[in-house]
Structure 1
Amino acid sequence: MFSSILLVATALDALNVFTFARAQLSITIDSSLQYQHVDGFGISASFQRAQQICGKYGLSPTNRTKVLDLLFSNTTGASLTILRNGIGSANSSSLDYMNSIQPLSPGSPAAAPFYNWDGSDSGQVWLSQVAASYGVKTFAADAWSAPGYMKTNNDDTQGGSLCGVTNTFCTTGDWRQAYADYLVQYLSYYAAAGINVTHVGFVNEPELHERYASMISNSTQSADFLRVLAPTLKAAGLDTKITCCDAAGWKSQARMLAGIQAAGAESLIGVVTSHGYSSPLNGTLNTTLPVWQTEWSDLHGNWTDDWYFNHTAGEGLTWAVTIQKAFTESNISAFIYWQGAEMTGKNTALIRLAGDSYEVSKRLWAMAQFSRFVRPGAVRIDAEGGNEEVHVSAFTNSDGVVTVQVINNSTNATDIELIFDGGKIPASLKSFLTDNENDLTDLGQVTTGNNGTWESTLLARSMLSFVGV
C-alpha cells in the first residue's frame, strides 16, 4: 500500500513541477467542430479462447473474475464495449477449430437443414452473457468461412469460394441462400440465449488462403452474397447490421469497397470493416458508412508487457499511438484488438493466461486510456496543437463529458496547456496517467492556469487522458 501511495504521489509531483511555468505546448479543443461517431472498443475470444478464459485449462474462478474485470469493468479495467465472436464452420473441434452449427451437408442447398447447437459455441455464449452483465451491448459475429460442403473446395479451410457466386461452379448447386439461412439461424440461437447480435459478417480476410477456416471472396462475389443475405435478414425480422469485409489490410479493404460500390451493393452494408495486418490504416476509406478496425495485433513478436522499451510492435505506447491515429487520421468508429486473453507466447492478446495465472500487457492500458472514457455514442471533436512527438485527440460523450487524450512519444517531458475554445467548456478536469510505472493512475484535478486554461506536464513516453467533470 505504501509503495502505491508513493507511486501516485511521485507522479503527481512530477506533473506539478511546472504548474506555474509557461506551457511549452498549447492544445486547443473545440467541441463545436465534430467528426465521426464512436461505436466502441473491443476484443475477440474466438477459436476457443473463450473457453480458456472460462477456466478450461486451469484459470480459477477468482482469477477468471479478475481477468474479466480487467477487460470489462468500468472502474478497475478497460471497460471494453464490443465483443467479436467467431461463427464456426468446422465439423470438429480439434486444434482450436470453431464448430459449425450444421457440420454435415443436408444433401443439397434445397434440402431441409438439420442444425446441431450445443448451447456453448466454444464458450462464446457464456462470455457474451458475462460481457452483457458488465454492460456490453455490441456483439459482432463473424464467419471465417461457410461450411466446407457449401464451397468450391469442399473444405472450410484453405480458401475456396461460396458455391453460387460469380465465377464458381459446384456440382452440388448454389448454396448462397442456404448460407444466408445458416447465418440467420446462428443469430437466432444467440437471441434465445439472451444475446442480441448487433452485427454479422459473412467472410473474414477474403483475400487469403489459410490452413484454418478461410474463404475467398472478391468484391463481385461479396456483392452477390450481400444481395441474398440482406433480404434474408429482413425477412427474419432482424435489424442486424451486415459488416463487410474484414480484409487483412487497409489497402485490400479499399479495393474491396470500391468493387462493391461499383456493383451497386454498398447500401446493403451497415459497417465497413478492415484489419491492419497486411497494410496498416492509412488515410480514410471512401465511404459515408461507419468504418471499424475489427482485428489487429502484433502476431509475431514475443510476449512483452512493456509500455515503452525500444518502440517494438507489441509495446503499449506503440498501440496507444496506433489507436489514436486510427481515429484521428482514418476516421474509424471502433477499434477491436485481436484476442482479449489467451494462452500465448506472442503479443496476440491483451492478457496472457498460463494455468491459474495471468499477465497483463500495457496494450490493455493503452486501450483503457481511450475505452474507459470514450463511450459508445461519443463523437470525435477538434483537437489541435500536437506535433511529431505529441499526439492529441478529443471526444464528447453523449452525456456531454469531454475527454482529451495526449500522448508524448518523446524522451523529454513536455509542459502543456489545454485551451477549450468553442463548444462546451468543462468546469474542471481530472487526468489519468499510463507509462512504464502507471496503469491508468488517477492523478486527480488538473491545475487551472490563466484565462481559464488547464496546465499539466506530460511525462516522457507517457499518455494522459483528461476527463471533464
Structure 2
Amino acid sequence: MRHTGLLAGAVTAVSAQASYGNGYGGAGPNNLTFETSIKVNAAQQYQKMIGGGCSGAFGAACTTNTLSAADQEAVVQTLFGENYGGLSILRNLIGSSKGATILPSCPDTPAGPFNYSLPGNDTCQLPLARTALKYNPDLFLYADAWSAPGCFKTTGMEAGGGVICGVRRSNCTQDWREAYANYLIEYVKLYQQRGINVSLLGAYNEPDFNPFTYSAMLSDGYQAYDFLSIFYPMVKKAFPSLAVSCCDSTGARQQRDLLYELGRLGGTNLFDVNTYHNYQSDIKEPFDDLLKGQPTIETEWSDGGTNWTPTWDKSGNNFEGFQWAIYMHNAFRNNVAGWSHWWCTWTGGDAALINVNGTSYQVAARLWAFSGYFRFARPGAVRLDAESGVEEVYVTAWQNTNGSVAIPVVNAAHYAYTLDISLAGTNVSHGVAYLTDNDHNVTMSEGFAVSGGRFQAVIEPRAMKTYFLDSQ
C-alpha cells in the first residue's frame, strides 16, 4: 500500500560507476543500494497490540500426537514462546458435533435439563492451551463456536447452516437464545475449573457462509442483535471481565455489512472485540467508523490448500512468509490489533504454521513473519505513526509498555535500502536488528546506537528486519 507523506527526493541511487562486486552498498546494476528515510512519531498513536495467533480446532491440536513428547513440547514453544514465534492468541473451537460438544444429550425444551461435560481433552485443545500457557502465561484464549447444538436451531442439525431459534425470521416454536448463551458460558466455566481462563468468547464463525460439510450457523446483523442482546448481559453477569466478540465474518467487507446492520439497531455496544476473517475480502479501510472504540482482530486465514509452502520468498506464492509480512503490515496500518493464522499445526497443506509429518515437523516461514512483529511488539504495545519515504519499504512502529520500541520494516525491493530512521518522542538509546529472509529466521544481525533520536541501518532485499530499541 502507498504510504502518506512521501518525502520528496528521498530516494537516491548510489553511483553505478564502480565494480560489479558481491554484497550490497557497491555499485553496478547487479549490486544496487538505495536510500530512504523513515520517520517515527510517538506523539501520534493508534491501536494497542493484542497479538498473533492460531487455532487447534477440528482435531488440529491432535496432529502433534505422532511426535515424541520432547518434539510436541518444542512445537508449542516454537509457536508461543516469546523468544520464538511470539504468538499470544489461541483460538479454541466450542464443538457442536457428536463427540466434541459439551452437551452430548439435547433436552426437549429450553427448560432443560442440561448436563454439561467437557468431552475428554476437548479434542486435544485442553493440553494445547495448558502447554501454550507454560510458554506464554498471558495467553489470550479465544473460545469460539461454529454453531449451536442442532436442537437449538431451525434446521435441527449442527452442520449446514440454519439460525438460532428465537431470532427474527427463525419461525421456531421455542426460543433457544438463552439456552445457547448458557451453553457458551458453561464452556468457559469448564475451562476455568481446570485452571484456564478464557479471554474472549464468541457465538459465531463465518455467519455469512453456508457450508454443508461442517459445523455452521448463519446470521445477519439484525439476527446477531437479537442474540447478542440476550448473550452480552448474561456473559457480563457471569464473568464481568470476559470479552465478547462479534462476529468472525468471512472477510472484511462482509464484516462491515454485518456491523452496519447491527449498528442500525444500536447493537455496537453488545460486543467488546470486532473479529473478522480474511478469506473473501482483505481489509481496505479501518472499521473505526462502525465501532465504538472496540479493537479489531483478524481471527482466521489460510488457503486450505494441499500444497505445503515452507519458504520465505522463492516463488511469489501467496503463502510464503514474505507475503504474510505484508498482509499483516497492511492490516496493522488499518488499525487491526491482532492477526491469526488458521491452524497451528496440521499434516500437509498451507492451513497450518507447522507441518507434522509422522515423527518429524517443519516450520513455515510464515511463522517467522509473525515473529518479526509479535516477538517484539508485545500485547499492550501501542502503534506509533511511522512513515516510509518510498512505497516499496513498508514500516510500522510499536511502543511497548516498558518504553521499548519495535520497528518492523519490510523491503519489497529486489535491492537493499539504507535507512535513515528518525524517532520523535521516544527515549531509546540502543538497538538490535533481527533479519528474516531466505537464509535467516528472525536472526540477530547487528547492534547499534541511537544518537540524537536517529540511526542508520541497512535492510536487505526481499526481507523483513525488525529494529528493537530500548534505553539500555
Are 2:341 and 1:341 equivalent residues in the alignment? Answer: no
The residue number in structure 1 matching 2:165 is: 163
Q: CA deviation at 1:119?
A: 4.6
List aligned pairs for 1:11-410, cutoff 5 A: 24-53=35-64, 55=65, 58-75=66-83, 77-92=84-99, 99-135=100-136, 136-171=138-173, 173-210=174-211, 211-285=213-287, 286=289, 287=291, 288-300=293-305, 302-328=307-333, 330-344=334-348, 346-410=349-413
The residue number in structure 1 matching 2:464 is: 463
Provide the C-alpha distance between the structure 2 equivalents of 1:429 and 1:347, rounded to a whole number of angstroms: 34
CA contact (8 A) 2:46 2:383 kept: yes
Q: In structure 2, the residue corresponding to 1:439 is in which secondary structure?
A: strand
Amino acid aligned to 1:290: P
- Deviation per residue, 1:117-142 (Å, 9 max, x gap): 23511111111111111123311100
Q: CA deviation at 1:425?
A: 3.7
Q: CA deviation at 1:22?
A: 10
Provide the C-alpha distance between the structure 2 equivalents of 1:368 and 1:270, rounded to a whole number of angstroms: 26
CA contact (8 A) 1:316 1:364 kept: yes
CA contact (8 A) 2:393 2:409 kept: yes
Provide the C-alpha distance between the structure 2 equivalents of 1:229 and 1:431, rounded to a whole number of angstroms: 46
Change (3 A) 1:374 1:196: same
TM-score normalized by the length of structure 1? 0.90
CA contact (8 A) 2:147 2:203 kept: yes
Where does structure 1 lack aligned partners over 5 or more consecutive residues? 1-12, 93-98
The residue number in structure 2 matching 1:434 is: 436
CA contact (8 A) 2:145 2:203 kept: yes
- Count of residue pairs the alignment pairs up: 440
CA contact (8 A) 2:33 2:417 kept: no
Q: CA deviation at 1:37?
A: 0.9
The residue number in structure 1 matching 2:414 is: 411
CA contact (8 A) 2:377 2:398 kept: yes
Provide the C-alpha distance between the structure 2 equivalents of 1:168 and 1:85, rounded to a whole number of angstroms: 27
* Bigger mean CA deviation after superposition, 367-376 or 377-386: 377-386
Change (3 A) 1:340 1:15: farther
* Bigger mean CA deviation after superposition, 453-462 or 82-91: 453-462
Amino acid aligned to 2:50: D
CA contact (8 A) 2:245 2:275 kept: yes
- Deviation per residue, 1:85-143 (Å, 9 max, x gap): 01000113xxxxxx111132111111221123235111111111111111233111000
Change (3 A) 1:177 1:452: closer
CA contact (8 A) 1:15 1:456 kept: no
CA contact (8 A) 2:43 2:425 kept: yes
- Runs of 4 or more, structure 1, over 3 Å off, are 13-18
Q: CA deviation at 1:46?
A: 0.7
* Bigger mean CA deviation after superposition, 269-278 or 66-75: 66-75
* Bigger mean CA deviation after superposition, 241-250 or 41-50: 41-50
CA contact (8 A) 2:307 2:350 kept: yes
* Bigger mean CA deviation after superposition, 255-264 or 280-289: 280-289
Q: In structure 2, the residue corresponding to 1:152 is in which secondary structure?
A: coil
Amino acid aligned to 2:45: Q
Q: In structure 2, the residue corresponding to 1:233 is in which secondary structure?
A: helix
Provide the C-alpha distance between the structure 1 equivalents of 2:33 and 2:462, rounded to a whole number of angstroms: 21
